[in-house]
Amino acid sequence: MLQAHQRTSVRGPTFIRLLARLTDVDVSPSRQSLSDRLGQWLDWTHAVALSTSLDGKPSEVASDVPTFGSAEESECARVRTSLVSTIAGDRTFATARQRGAEHALAAEEGANEAVDYSVFRQRYLAIQRSMQAATGNLRGRLRDMLAQSTADMARLAALDAAMERALSPREQTLLAHVPALLGDHFERLRQAEQKALADAQVSEDTPAIAPGAWLDVFRQDVQSVLLAELDVRFHPVEGLLAALRTN
């Protein structure tokens, strides 16, 4: 008797676990430690910059940098809420019920066969750019505030700046692959529904699913991935906020 292949359970942030669940790739857990993996991303220039930020004297910051307070906390919360609303309210990723009865009827008539993934890809990339710009601005502003605090906090700000310069390009390259992974998921869902409907037609059974249902599943999955990616992009912002709250 054949046994179904059991995929390796993936640990880590929700973003990683979601992608692992939606992709058709069985990823083995890495045997490298986090420090070893980070070491592969850093060249000697990055290493020198990190060492300087840890051992060197922090540079002076302009006196016109605003001090940290409730206004900055509120601004970070506002930006995050705005991005969540953009993702949740985007009509490209809205389900048939959210889009209206006419869209649901079009799906039932088989209009979903003509759906082009490029529309979803372009919108995903646009939202990624918005998230990157918003979190980057917040990170820079909070880091400037941290740098004008104590010597230890200024050193932490310098370290964060060095880490961003070293890791951000690699991070953006990896995140740029997400739309391609979702494109594969898009095709698997579409093909699975086509097969299910064809099998039901051959056996003259009533289809267990409504035509076009796969597209709603896909849209919900994309929204989940975007929200999880937003959490990942906010990690540095949250770290800086935590440091500022200790002052």
Task: Give the integer Cα–Cα distance in Å for 86 and 232.
Answer: 17
Amino acid at 193: E
With tokens 């941290």, the residue in question is 146
pLDDT-based confidence at 122, cuts 50/70/90? very high
pLDDT-based confidence at 115, cuts 50/70/90? confident
Q: What average pLDDT is seen over the chain?
A: 81
SS3 67: coil
Residue 76: predicted pLDDT:
95
| pLDDT tens track for 130-141 | 999 999 999 999
Global pTM value? 0.81
Could you say which DSSP state residue 90 is in? -
| pLDDT tens track for 49-84 | 666 766 666 556 555 556 677 888 999 999 999 999
| pLDDT tens track for 87-103 | 999 999 987 777 765 45
Task: Give the integer Cα–Cα distance in Å for 247 and 150.
Answer: 8
Residue 118: predicted pLDDT:
95
Residue 11: predicted pLDDT:
59
| pLDDT tens track for 191-240 | 988 888 787 777 766 556 677 889 999 999 999 999 999 999 999 999 99
Q: Where are the domains of the chain?
A: 45-51+65-245
Task: Give the integer Cα–Cα distance in Å for 164 and 239.
Answer: 13
The answer to whether residue 38 scores a pLDDT higher than 60 is yes
